[in-house]
């Protein structure tokens, strides 16, 4: 998809067309043909790259044939540790837009909305370039979404695109049933749509030529933390995590743990993580998930508890303030983690925190509290020895350089 070293500039339309050819549209005007792409996506075994890993063809089928559907490209990338969608939109905007137009073709939509953060970008320029070339039989517009973490959750996104605040709603109805302005809406992550474009062009067998039979294809991974060359890398599913870090130049110092999936993911001890292949099933068995495709190596010199507490505080501040267990529970969880991090006799706080973690799960309109609870629970497990040391009154000194990125370095203790 990215193909070798990451180029510094966006690929212009002419070069993109020369490399990948024009769009192979099937649906507009063609009886029954749209399902061909959905079938190919199904045979390819493509799953979503926005976090949940839902089968893409199943979502497309749920939208196909409904009245006046809409396609939304989720390129907002609310996860602070992930940079893959921003990179893709910057260097390969036409691949994502091809995927969106092809998906629109397949489900019978005439409208594509690209949702992203920030002002004028390569995405805006790419949309203008295509309009000038008269390339697409659909309207494409770019919409800037609020920067809050939950604003790019799909129900918040369709609500915002319908003119309301970007707050998640209870589901059902899901966006495919009732989305933008009440119309059936296919929300797909930007990277997912780039894969759709490649499957349409090169076929499902080509897609399956890398990866494993159960986890076919490739994915974009943001490799970060204690590595020599942090960045976004395209890796085949099934690649050992150890190889992923080697691809990023190897470790700069001994590593104690790996954050897998981002802040919606989980910490794993380094010895566990490095032995795993990058597949949803292997990561799930170890208690993690690919999530937004983040692999962050935490050096032995950093304090996992302090790092997790900063992020937990930020995540608590990201609650949309609509659901009691999330609005009240997440700050209480972050506060408990702060007390544990400060150290001293905190056995009762530890018990209270375990109880609080179990109380918030599954209790919000969106999965924000579940993700936060999973992240914190994995920190308590992975950094159990650090926690014991903090409890003995021997906490780590404050970090000079925090390892986990946060927007504007928010979320302090
Ligand atoms: C709190 C929260 C934040 C999310 N942020 C994003 C995001 O920034 N980008 C994204 O593609 N999906 C995000 N998702 C997942 C979307 O709700 C949705 O599942 C995804 O866009 C669907 O695309 P996919 O099937 O191609 O993965 C988020 C989910 C939650 C619960
Ligand atoms: S669970 Fe939290 S973030 Fe999600 S809608 Fe409710 S209050 Fe907002």
Matching CATH number, 304-409, of 1.10.260.40, 1.10.10.10, 1.20.1440.230, 3.40.1370.10: 1.20.1440.230
- pLDDT tens-digit profile, the chain (413 residues): 766 556 668 889 999 999 888 777 765 444 445 678 999 999 999 999 999 899 999 999 999 989 999 999 999 999 999 999 999 999 999 999 999 999 999 999 999 999 998 877 889 999 999 999 998 889 999 999 998 889 999 999 999 999 999 999 887 899 999 999 999 999 999 999 999 999 999 999 999 999 999 999 999 999 999 999 999 999 999 999 999 999 999 999 999 999 999 999 999 999 999 999 999 999 999 999 999 999 999 999 999 999 999 999 999 999 888 888 899 999 999 999 999 998 888 789 999 999 999 999 888 888 999 999 999 999 999 999 988 888 888 878 777 788 999 987 554 43
The tokens for 72 are 């939304």
- Check residue 390 and give its pLDDT: 87
Which residues form the pocket of ligand 1, taking CB atoms under 6 Å from any ligand atom? 48-52, 54, 74, 76-79, 149-150, 152-154, 187-189, 192, 366-368
Give the ligand 1 atom nearest the CA of 157.
Answer: 17
Closest ligand 2 atom to Cα of 326: 2
18: left (phi over 0), alpha (psi -120 to 50) or beta: alpha
Q: Do domains 218-299 and 304-409 have the same CATH topology?
A: no
Give residues (CB < 6 A) around ligand 2.
150, 168, 319-323, 326-327, 364-366, 368-369
For 119, the enclosing helix (H) or strand (E) is: none
Cα torsion angle, 370, 376, 377, 382, sign: positive
CA–CA distance, 367 with 374 (Å, rounded to integer): 11
Question: What is the number of the ligand 1 atom nearest to the C-alpha of 53?
Answer: 27
d(CA 270, CA 55): 30
Return the ∠ at Cα 133 (arms to 128 and 139), rounded to 5°: 55
Which one is the CATH code of 218-299: 1.20.840.10, 3.20.20.70, 3.40.50.300, 3.10.20.600? 3.10.20.600
CA distance 139 to 150: 27
pLDDT at position 26 is 65
Q: Ligand 1 centroid to 267 CA: how many Å?
A: 20
Domain coordinates of the chain in residue numbers?
13-207, 218-299, 304-409
Q: What is the pLDDT of residue 30?
A: 45
Q: Which fold has domain 13-207?
A: Rossmann fold (3.40.50)
Outline where DSSP puts E strands in 40-153.
Answer: 70-74, 111-116, 139-144
Indicate the pTM of the whole model: 0.94
* Å from CA of 155 to ligand 1 middle: 9
Q: State which of 42, 117, 143, 154 you would mutate to test the pocket of ligand 1, scoring each by most atoms of that ligand within 8 A of its C-beta.
A: 154
Q: Please give the backbone phi and psi of residue 257, each rounded to the nearest 5 degrees, phi first.
A: -155, 160
Ligand 2, residues 157, 312, 323, 373: which to mutate, most atoms within 8 A of Cβ? 323
Among candidates 113, 160, 19, which has minimal Cα distance to 168?
Answer: 160
Helix H or strand E segment including 295: strand 294-299
Counted residue by residue, the chain has a size of 413
Between the CA of 350 and the centroid of ligand 2 the distance, in Å, is 24
C-alpha 350/C-alpha 63 separation (Å) is 46
Q: Which atom of ligand 2 lies nearest, measured to the CA of 320?
A: 8
């Amino acid at each position: 998809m990215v193909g070798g070293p990451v180029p510094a500039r966006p690929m212009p339309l002419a070069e993109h067309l020369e490399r990948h050819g024009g769009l192979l549209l099937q649906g507009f005007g063609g009886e029954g043909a749209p399902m061909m792409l959905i079938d190919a996506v199904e045979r390819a075994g493509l799953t979503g790259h926005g976090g949940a890993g839902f089968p893409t063809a199943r979502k497309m089928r749920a939208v196909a044939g409904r009245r006046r559907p809409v396609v939304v490209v989720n390129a907002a990338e609310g996860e602070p540790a992930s940079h893959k969608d921003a990179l893709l939109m910057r260097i390969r905007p036409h691949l994502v837009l091809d995927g969106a137009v092809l998906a629109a073709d397949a489900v019978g939509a005439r409208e594509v909305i690209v949702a992203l953060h920030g002002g004028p970008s390569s995405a805006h320029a790419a949309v203008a370039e295509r309009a000038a070339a008269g390339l697409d039989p659909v309207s494409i517009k770019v919409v800037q979404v609020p920067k809050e973490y939950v604003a790019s959750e799909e129900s918040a996104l369709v609500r915002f695109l319908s003119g309301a605040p970007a707050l998640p709603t209870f589901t059902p109805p899901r966006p495919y049933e009732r989305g933008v302005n009440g119309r059936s809406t296919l929300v797909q992550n930007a990277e997912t749509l780039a894969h759709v474009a490649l499957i349409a062009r090169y076929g499902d067998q080509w897609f399956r030529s890398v990866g494993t039979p159960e986890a076919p294809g490739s994915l974009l991974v943001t490799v970060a933390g204690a590595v020599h060359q942090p960045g976004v890398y395209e890796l085949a599913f099934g690649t050992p995590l150890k190889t992923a870090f080697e691809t990023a130049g190897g470790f700069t110092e001994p590593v104690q743990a790996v954050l897998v999936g981002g802040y919606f993911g989980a910490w794993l001890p380094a010895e566990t993580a490095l032995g795993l292949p990058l597949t949803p099933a292997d990561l799930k068995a170890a208690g993690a998930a690919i999530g937004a495709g983040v692999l962050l190596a935490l050096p032995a010199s950093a304090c996992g508890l302090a790092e997790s507490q900063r992020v937990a505080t930020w995540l608590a501040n990201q609650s949309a303030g609509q659901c009691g267990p999330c609005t009240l529970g997440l700050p209480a969880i972050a506060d408990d983690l702060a007390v544990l991090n400060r150290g001293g006799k905190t056995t009762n706080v530890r018990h209270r925190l375990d109880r609080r973690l179990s109380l918030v799960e599954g209790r919000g309109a969106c999965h924000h509290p579940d993700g936060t609870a999973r992240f914190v629970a994995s920190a308590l497990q992975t950094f159990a020895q650090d926690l014991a040391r903090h409890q003995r009154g021997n906490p780590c000194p404050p970090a000079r350089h925090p390892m986990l990125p946060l927007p504007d370095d928010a979320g302090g203790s």
